[in-house]
Amino acid sequence: MDERIKVFAHNLIHKSIQVKPGDKVYIDYTGESTEDLARQLIKETYAAGAMPFPHYTNPRVQREMLLHCNEEQLRLMAQVSALEMSQMDCYLAVRGSDNISENSDVPAENLALYERLYSTPVHHEIRVPKLRWCVMRYPNNSMAQLNNQSLEAFEDFYFDVCCLDYAKIGQYAEHHYWKKQSGLMDQLACAVGGAVFLDFSDKENPVVEKLTLPLEQEGYQIILVNTGKGHGNLSREYSEIPSEMKKAASCLGKRQLSDTSLESLLQEASAVRQTCGDRSLLRAIHFFEENRRVDDAREALGQGNIPGFLSLVCQSGNSSWKYLQNCCVPSEPAEQSVSVMLALTELFLAKIGKGACRIHGGGFGGVIMCILPRVAADVYREYISAYAGCDNVFPITIRSQGAIHLG
């Protein structure tokens, strides 16, 4: 088996649909060329502690069915498939028909009947809104021909794209082009999309879990405010954060803070202050408390506790401000745009009694985030625009898609 298929299958199971132990995974593969990938998807599903439910479609056989299908038949097919689909947690479809025109002579009314009576109740009403899913074409002769390439050349192109780790590409760019020693958190969150829980205990294989963040459904709006402070020439400030945390860990005889605990840090607080400085101690405290808040936020979202989640967002922001100290550049005390926008936003939220705000991203510049009731969003935009400028205030939503390849 082509080793690239193994990498691709691993990415699909662990990154595209984030299969978890106990999940039921519907694997829908079409065409003979998809067999190797389907087999590997089944192996990866079992390895993840989940259950695969494979379904094979022969395009020529399906065409024969579509030529003479009727309403009674399609309704029964939909009932059976809908029953199974409603029990699934994830769905993967691999399309590899050797002839994209296989259904060209199927009557249009039959295709429309199939779409209305089968595809709509099974896929549009169950699979799309309720499952974690991914649909792809497989690189076969038909697809290569459409791209005016040999099969080998098209396979190379396809797998070069689909086996990329977009998060690590982003991290590499920050390390080597912008000289910022960033971790993988922001890059991985962007690559996956939506609200995610990330566990970097194993840095080479971080745990990624999709979360439900129903802010819109609960009547909240996210607004970003550009503070006007740019990120240029801040490589030193960004790099000092992990460097100082590692120094604190080294003072405790460990390589990194995740190898020790807050209790151990506090026992050696005097030594850390003397050896590494006060800021190193404060940033280490932030590290441990932030990890705790992340677990608490995950639990709050799992319980649908939005007020509890927003309270943790505020706590996190205050910790960044006081302990992590990434809201202003120490060498530029007269320029504190981030802190000013946070202070003004906190005053507004205190008046309405709801909402949360914090610095957004790596800090030292850029934007702040405000989450507040939608009914107060327009008033806040007008209020903060008086200080930041109306062109620097952006209502946003969080898209479910992460990194995608275009063209």
> Into which CATH architecture does domain 212-235+291-396 fall?
2-Layer Sandwich (3.30)
pLDDT at 407: 42
- How far apart, in whole angstroms, are the C-alpha atoms of residue 80 and residue 122? 9
Residue 324, H or E segment: none
Alpha-carbon distance values, 23 to 45, 69, 73 (Å): 9, 33, 30
- How far apart, in whole angstroms, are the C-alpha atoms of residue 36 and residue 41? 9
Alpha-carbon distance values, 58 to 13, 95, 240 (Å): 23, 10, 58
Q: Taking the CB of residue 196, how many other CB atoms lie within 10 A of it?
A: 20
Half-sphere exposure at residue 96, Cβ-oriented, CA atoms within 13 angstroms: 19
Give 164's pLDDT tier (boundaries 50, 70, 90): low
Average pLDDT, the chain: 90
pLDDT at 181: 67
Please, are residues 31 and 59 in contact by the beta-carbon 8 Å criterion?
A: yes
pLDDT tens digit sequence for 73-128: 999 999 999 999 999 999 999 999 999 899 999 999 999 999 999 999 999 999 99
Task: Indicate yes or no: pTM above 0.85.
Answer: no
The more confidently predicted of residues 185 and 325 is: 325
Q: What are phi and psi of 190, to 5 degrees?
A: -70, -40
The CATH number that domain 3-163 falls under is 3.40.1830.10
For the residues 248-269, what does the mean pLDDT come to? 95
Please, are residues 103 and 66 in contact by the beta-carbon 8 Å criterion?
A: yes
Total count of residues recorded for the chain? 407
Residue 403 has pLDDT above 80, yes or no: no
- How far apart, in whole angstroms, are the C-alpha atoms of residue 222 and residue 369? 7
Match 């199939």 to its residue by tokens: 114
Residue 284 has pLDDT above 70, yes or no: yes
Q: Where are the domains of the chain?
A: 3-163, 212-235+291-396
For the residues 156-166, what does the mean pLDDT come to? 73
